[in-house]
Structure 1
Amino acid sequence: MITVTGARKNYGDFAALDDVTVNIPSGSLTALLGPSGSGKSTLLRSIAGLEELDSGTITIAGKDVTGVSPQKRDIGFVFQHYAAFKHMTVRDNVAFGLKIRKRPKPEIEKKVNELLEIVGLDGFQHRYPAQLSGGQRQRMALARALAVDPQVLLLDEPFGALDAKVRADLRTWLRRLHDEVHVTTVLVTHDQEEALDVADRIAVLNKGRIEQIGEPADLYDRPSNDFVMSFLGSVAKLNGQLVRPHDIRLGRDPSMALAQESGTAESLGVTRATVERVVYLGFEVRVDLRNEATGELFSAQVTRGDSAALHLEAGETVYARATRVPDLPETPVVTPEQEPVTVSVVGQV
């Protein structure tokens, strides 16, 4: 387990970490998610020993490593830009850490072969980094980090320099790799989809503090505040409340928007809106709408079938209602040292 307690780090007047406390379970894959300047990379680098805290402690597997050098923390670190040795082959890059530790040649040979097979680079041993694709270079970097059997694997935006399709493929691959090797992994990302896709737990950071930490489904369905809800997935503002676009029901008249529930359109918050634009996104359709009462813009997500059934076109009038509205409390429902607290939701169908 990694335990960070009361971590503070300032750069002049800027508080990169402001009394951060978090536990990262052994064998988990935890994502540190937040916007630029939220403190996620500073927290990761502090765990690695690359940044010195102003105050606070860091323990790994029960050992206080706050003042321990990075080389003695038993950590593998993968950066966004590979940091490969260009003059070395793939085999030599992966074997580098083992050679530095003066491991026997047969052990190095066996370990490198095993890792190259695991990361899907078997047969690429004699190529140089320049002869690999971006995704292949990143897999080589991960193999190199894992070669020394670290207690902890730290990934700092590892897929940020890659295109969307390669990132998606590597996310799937990373999840499979983690399930195979079970090394405690911490991933820094600003990509919400990436965090939801690969992580067991997500810590959402903002302005040097942890807003909420928990399992992806808990954070998505029961966000602790407006920031967490807005940052972890798409949101729309309907009748003064933040809702998920896929939780907005559309109809051609108020009664159609009510579905099977009883009550009036007014009591259930049905809104008259004008369709501004219809955008086809594969199976889903995004409908950009304008609230006719307030002039505010918001979006709903529907299936292609629903869009076709409603004959949605720009300029037409529809009625919208939120089928599920998260109850956002004033104070967080999850803190680093607490279990998730169940929050009720209203209007669910």
Structure 2
Amino acid sequence: MSIKVIGANKRYGDFAALDNVSIDIPDGQLTSLLGPSGSGKSTLLRAIAGLDTLDSGTVLIDDDDVSRKSPQKRDIGFVFQHYAAFKHLTVRDNIAFGLKIRKRPKKEIDVKVDELLDVVGLTVFQKRFPAQLSGGQRQRMALARALAVDPKVLLLDEPFGALDAKVRDDLRRWLRRLHEEVHVTTVLVTHDQQEALDVSDRIAVLNKGRIEQIGTPDDLYDRPTNTFVASFLGSTVRLNGDLVRPHDIRLGRTPEMASPSTDASLDTGVLKATVQRVVNLGFETRVELIASASGEEFAAEITRGDQNALNLQAGETVYARATKVAALTEA
């Protein structure tokens, strides 16, 4: 089912949570609403769900105007950051809850719950209570419960925000695989850029109640329309006045090493700098530098292999050059 929001406005006093927002969310895709706190992403999601009423604007689900319909009449599955599990019910009964209150036949409920337990990998935990599960397992249970009633759309509001980094990484990959299996139209709210890039078919970047840019992860990362999108969707630094990503900076001990012939078409100039600090971050190494002429600080990210070859040390002089610069329209 597709979702369309047209001219959405929502104010809280003098604060514009949504400022004339319009967005099309295609059928069967996973779209992330990405932005900092206060950007309007959760308000937009809650408006789609019917949990917040817009001051003006229209919400269509599969061309049906649901703007004034209650959440119960929108056929939506909703998963929050906090699991809201029924603590006195087992995993199996939590997943079955929505089907039972809809008075579905017992055999149908059993078949559906068995299927979802298998999909989310909780079959062996079905008799446990929520308190006996890990955070990741409880979130998978919450997703299964939301999917049990065959919602038209699935709305996820920071579903992994309360989990530690390793569990979030695992659940991101799991969510992507799950979406490829069920193909339900999904909207994910997140402030985590890596999460959005990892799982999304499309990303909408919000800022101050407006949508800055919508597109595929590659579109937004490689072709941002303005400095806000570029800087929010990954690290950026200024090099010779150009906004570049740290991993697009080449370092060398001589100007010639920083300017290989393969980069000759990109005339950004070579900048002389002093190494301030070298930090190994697993596969990557972050080199913190200060420009010799201007005194401006910036950082470059190189592979661990390149660092092993260069063996850069604090206090050394190096030469830096951008291998890629995005053409931006200043916001």
> Could you say whether these structures have the same fold, taking a TM-score greater than 0.5 normalized by the shorter chain as the test?
yes
> In the TM superposition, what whole-angstrom CA distance separates every residue of 1:129-167 from its partner, at most 9, and x where no partner exists?
000000000000000000000000000000000000000
Aligned residue in 2 for 1:180: 181
Match of 1:309 in 2: 309
Q: Counterpart in 2 of 1:34?
A: 35
Distance (whole Å) between structure 2 residues aligned to residue 34 and residue 127 of structure 1: 36
1:118 aligns with 2:119: yes
**Match in the other structure for 1:109:** 110
AA matched with 1:104: P
> Identity rate of aligned residues, in percent?
74
Q: Is 1:92–2:73 an aligned residue pair?
A: no
Kept in 1, the 8 Å contact 2:240–2:268? The answer is no
Distance apart, 1:263 and its partner CA: 7.0
* Equivalences for residues 235-250 of structure 1 within 5 A: 235-250=236-251
3-state DSSP of counterpart to 1:217: helix
Structure 1 residue 264: Cα displacement: 12
Q: Which residue of 2 aligns with 1:295?
A: 295
Q: Per the alignment, in what secondary structure is the counterpart of residue 9 of structure 1? A: strand
- Structure-2-length-normalised TM-score: 0.98
- The Cα shift of 1:241 comes to 1.6
Specify the alignment match of 1:260 in structure 2: 261
Distance change in 2, residues 1:264/1:88 (3 Å): closer
**How far 1:259 sits from its partner (Å)?**
0.6
Tell me what 1:344 maps to. Answer: none
The code of the aligned residue for 2:55 comes to D
Sort the Cα spacing of 1:262 and 1:47 in 2 relative to 1 into closer, same or farther, 3 A. closer
Per-residue deviation, residues 227-260 of structure 1 (Å, max 9, x unmatched): 0000001111111221011110101111111111
- How far the C-alpha of 1:268 sits from its partner, in A, is 3.8
Match of 1:326 in 2: 326
C-alpha distance in structure 2 between counterparts of 1:136 and 1:307, whole Å: 39
Is the 2:263–2:323 contact (alpha carbons within 8 Å) kept by the matching residues of 1?
no
Given that 2:227 and 2:330 are in contact with CA atoms closer than 8 Å, whether structure 1 keeps it comes out as: no
Cα-Cα RMSD = 1.4
Tell me the residue number matched to 2:286: 286
Q: Which residue of 2 aligns with 1:231?
A: 232
Question: In structure 1, the residue corresponding to 2:188 is in which secondary structure?
Answer: strand
Check conservation: 2:273, 2:319, Cα contact below 8 A: yes
Structure 2 residue runs without a partner (length 5+) = none
For residues 128 and 110 of structure 1, the distance between their equivalents in structure 2, rounded to whole angstroms, comes to 20
Aligned counterparts of 1:124 and 1:108: Cα–Cα separation in 2: 18
Q: Secondary structure at the match of 1:202?
A: strand
Q: Are the structure 2 counterparts of residues 141 and 264 from structure 1 closer, same or farther at C-alpha, using a change threshold of 3 Å?
A: closer
1:342 maps to none
Checking the alignment, whether the CA contact within 8 Å between 2:75 and 2:152 is kept in structure 1 is yes
Q: What is the Cα deviation at residue 283 of structure 1?
A: 1.3
Q: Which blocks of at least 5 consecutive residues in structure 1 are unaligned?
A: 332-349
Distance 2:86 2:64 in 1: 32
Matched residue, 2:163: 162
Aligned match of 1:134: 135
Match of 1:205 in 2: 206
Instruction: Specify the SS of the correspondent of 2:177.
Output: helix
Tell me the distance in 2 between the aligned counterparts of 1:306 and 1:99: 59
Q: What is the rounded CA distance, in whole Å, between the counterparts of 1:288 and 1:44 in structure 2?
A: 39
Paired amino acid for 1:309: A
Q: Distance in 2 between matches of 1:171 and 1:264?
A: 38
- For residues 329 and 16 of structure 2, what CA distance do their matches in structure 1 show? 26
Give me the whole-angstrom Cα distance separating, in 1, the residues matched to 2:265 and 2:153: 56
1:92, 1:262 → 2: CA distance? 60
Residue identity opposite 2:131 in structure 1: A
Match of 1:23 in 2: 24
| CA 99–211 in structure 1, closer or farther in 2 if over 3 Å, else same | same
Alpha-carbon distance in structure 1 between the residues aligned to 2:77 and 2:8: 21
Q: CA deviation at 1:125?
A: 1.3
